[in-house]
Structure 1
């Protein structure tokens, strides 16, 4: 009967259908099959709005259809719930211990470690539509070696071929990703200081970098937050505006959200109020915070603590984590909190004190309640990196007892933090002091990832290294 409706009406109906209904329609007749294949699965995927940058080459090449993408996300969700995954490093262990950083776009995963950026390129599936898209090592970019000038932040700009890089010693600049010639085996590009297009060459030491639209926020270990307006064009690399606000507490992390010319910055420090919100009006960062984001302790106390990691939420996903007003943060005392800036704050009796906002959700690993060094979100799921034992924690806000943790392959060190993590629809990327790693919930082929030594291969997971997990589920 539905096939008698005009096509434009059917397309509207697609916006309200789930997977089973779309599959049933596709099986009913040839005309509806064509509409579902061309528009139905695309409509469903857009409503879910799960990030999938590493899967994009599969769609772009035509190896995957939108139905394949939806199928992959559904199967990955089942694997997440059943704790079925493949874990492996992307390459050999680094020669020394680093504090690495990750960045991702639709073409590359960038791993910053010391003075080097390791680029891994995403490829279409090697073995047809039934396999996950591939990841291959593409290039290594190195900067002049100086421990005081290690990389502290990475971000891919909109053109996809330029990296915004921050350095520990206070520099912020752009670097073009080298183009490899066809057939070339060169895998190492040494970048001289003169090849870095500096936005700022000398500034306060940078500990974190956050970018939204054409605006960048850096957070200094000295407690200085700097806001930069970035030109999107490659020819205007030195054009910037900046405003700085000096704080009395050591800085650790920052998160930036810009919408329609205004926005806010969330700053993480070490203090009794380590997580605060600063408004941004007319490209200026307010000199004083306007809201305290509290840790949500039972006695409503404000102990001396730190916030090491801050993230936003996936836009448009039909869940509580679907707004630019959601802030996810990782704390020294082991909690991951979710604050909703739309909820009414509590105003103190003393009119001179700032209003405070309690978290709407609080999660932690009760077995290993150590400091949280990194957080990332994808739809309703949250991952966080622990400060010890290479533990990656996984949560789902839709299920109150779904929390679990993975011991990532530890290399030469058994106590490494998970310094950085990125979550997408079916993969989680993480970095410890010795490796960059992937946790894949999809279908992995032997050629999906770069080859690594098989000395530590786990026979139960054919292509994965030994990475045990355990359940917890501590929601408050």
Structure 2
């Protein structure tokens, strides 16, 4: 009698490509032969078919077996579904209100706040039952003169052969600098000594300050406050500059107004869709966050556009309408919390405030497979949906009564802090998580 285990290995591998995690787990328990097949081919096939890009976990995941990675992802998915997460501040409140920015690499998270850079290093763990730690490395000040403040407006990591210690930093005074961090560890339980060197980069034209910096390989894109874009090489001072957009993102799905008379609303964040999003992984999909509280999704391939304006502006550009808009019906002003949606079921979304319930916009966010990094005017924070988070996973925050409204949970939940959370389809009442 022909059995599954008696089939040739290459046939079994083809069958495994269509299985989910529950089927792999059941198949590996049927007999020793199939256990070996699943261990050697099945889990790695599942991981390739279900990628979970994550900078902060990349070094740890590289050391895990495919089965451990699949286990971690399954537990993370379950936590997202419930939802259950660990909420942790990453520092005490800063002395002044700031508008900080974040940058991330496989080695560390950098927080730019005021004129300072704060560095958090990513550790590793041997199993999915222990969360990889995040450790505070140190901070440096980029002040030129103590009496002259200069706020950081944008940061991005620059390719430096995997060291992740070189950044381009933009300032509100229009300056752009390339900063190289030098980190000297003193001991396993002692803080690191951080120093830096820097060099000036040609600023944007007309004294504009940089609103956004991003880099891929050896190319850096800088966007200015007055709408200029500059594309330059890390290794060359030559650059291309643009002052006219190739696409205008319209805020309405349907409107009869010419694009130069459209209601204005600032864009506070842009991102492409995740690799495993329901709409696919095309770089033509843009997700944007706006000052009016809306999250709008655009498909640059879409034909849903307005007619070109007949005004005197001389432009023949056609505004592109969003293909999907998401909003919290209980919020009619800029968002002071973090909102999550699954576009397959938008009505089941939910909102959560940062630890301490800081009444501030969340100025910068980075979302990974199991971790969400964010920063408000007061400090950086994280929501961790992964398993194995303990008190030692993130930096300890000394308790100071009456300063920052932090309330740490007790007993077995001491690894997390109280936060306010509510569902978008509820009565709008907040619940403590």
Shorter-chain TM range is 0.7 to 0.9
Q: Distance in 2 between matches of 1:298 and 1:202?
A: 35
How does 1:453-464 map onto structure 2 within 5 Å?
A: 453-454=398-399, 456-459=407-410, 461-464=413-416
Shift of 1:181: 4.1
Cα-to-partner distance string for 1:52-73 (whole Å, 9 max, x where unaligned): 222223233x4x3222222222
> Among residues 340, 358, 367, which one is paired with 1:394 in the alignment?
340
Question: For the structure 1 residues 172 and 11, does the alpha-carbon distance in structure 2 shift closer, same or farther, using more than 3 Å as the test?
Answer: farther
Q: Is the 8 A contact 2:362 2:377 kept in 1?
A: yes
Cα-to-partner distance string for 1:358-397 (whole Å, 9 max, x where unaligned): 21211111112323xxxxxxxxxxxxxx2x3xx1111111
List runs of 5+ in structure 2 lacking aligned partners.
402-406, 427-433
The structure richer in strand per residue is 1
> Among residues 175, 181, 185, which one is paired with 1:177 in the alignment?
181
Q: Which shows bigger deviation, 66-75 or 145-154? A: 145-154
Question: For the structure 1 residues 434 and 294, does the alpha-carbon distance in structure 2 shift closer, same or farther, using more than 3 Å as the test?
Answer: same
Q: Is the 8 A contact 2:353 2:420 kept in 1?
A: yes
Cα-to-partner distance string for 1:108-145 (whole Å, 9 max, x where unaligned): 1111112222111111238x541211111123233235
Q: Distance in 2 between matches of 1:313 and 1:4?
A: 42
> Among residues 380, 383, 397, which one is paired with 1:452 in the alignment?
397
Q: Distance in 1 between matches of 2:302 and 2:251?
A: 15
> Among residues 11, 35, 38, which one is paired with 1:36 in the alignment?
38
Q: Distance in 2 between matches of 1:76 and 1:405?
A: 19
Q: Which residue of 1 aligns with 2:29?
A: 27
Shift of 1:336: 0.3
Q: Distance in 1 between matches of 2:134 and 2:252?
A: 40
Q: Which residue of 1 aligns with 2:66?
A: 66
Shift of 1:296: 2.1
Question: For the structure 1 residues 16 and 206, does the alpha-carbon distance in structure 2 shift closer, same or farther, using more than 3 Å as the test?
Answer: same
Does structure 1 residue 291 correspond to structure 2 residue 220?
no
Q: Is the 8 A contact 2:71 2:128 kept in 1?
A: no
Does structure 1 residue 359 correspond to structure 2 residue 322?
yes
> Among residues 235, 239, 242, which one is paired with 1:245 in the alignment?
242
RMSD of the TM alignment (CA)? 2.6
Q: Give the TM-score normalised by structure 1.
A: 0.77
Q: Which residue of 1 aligns with 2:132?
A: 133
Does structure 1 residue 187 correspond to structure 2 residue 192?
yes
Q: Which residue of 2 aligns with 1:405?
A: 351
Q: Distance in 1 between matches of 2:166 and 2:272?
A: 21
Does the residue aligned with 2:46 lie in a helix, a strand or coil?
A: helix
Q: Which residue of 1 aligns with 2:158?
A: 157
How does 1:34-433 map onto structure 2 within 5 Å?
A: 34-60=36-62, 62=63, 64-125=64-125, 129-145=128-144, 149-158=150-159, 159-161=161-163, 162-168=165-171, 169-181=173-185, 183=187, 185=190, 187-191=192-196, 195-200=197-202, 204-231=208-235, 239-246=236-243, 288-297=244-253, 299=255, 301=257, 302-315=262-275, 317=276, 319-346=278-305, 348=307, 353-371=316-334, 386=335, 388=336, 391-410=337-356, 414-433=358-377
Q: Is the 8 A contact 1:215 1:230 kept in 2?
A: yes
Q: Number of paired residues?
A: 400
Q: Which residue of 1 aligns with 2:13?
A: 11
Shift of 1:436: 0.6
Shift of 1:188: 4.1
Q: Is the 8 A contact 1:133 1:448 kept in 2?
A: yes
Does the residue aligned with 2:184 lie in a helix, a strand or coil?
A: coil
Q: Is the 8 A contact 1:54 1:108 kept in 2?
A: yes
Question: For the structure 1 residues 334 and 13, does the alpha-carbon distance in structure 2 shift closer, same or farther, using more than 3 Å as the test?
Answer: same
Q: Give the TM-score normalised by structure 2.
A: 0.84
> Among residues 439, 451, 458, which one is paired with 2:383 in the alignment?
439
Q: Distance in 1 between matches of 2:70 and 2:348?
A: 22
List runs of 5+ in structure 1 lacking aligned partners.
232-238, 247-287, 372-385
Does the residue aligned with 1:141 lie in a helix, a strand or coil?
A: strand
Q: Is the 8 A contact 1:47 1:318 kept in 2?
A: no
Q: Distance in 2 between matches of 1:296 and 1:201?
A: 35
Q: Which has the larger radius of gyration?
A: 2
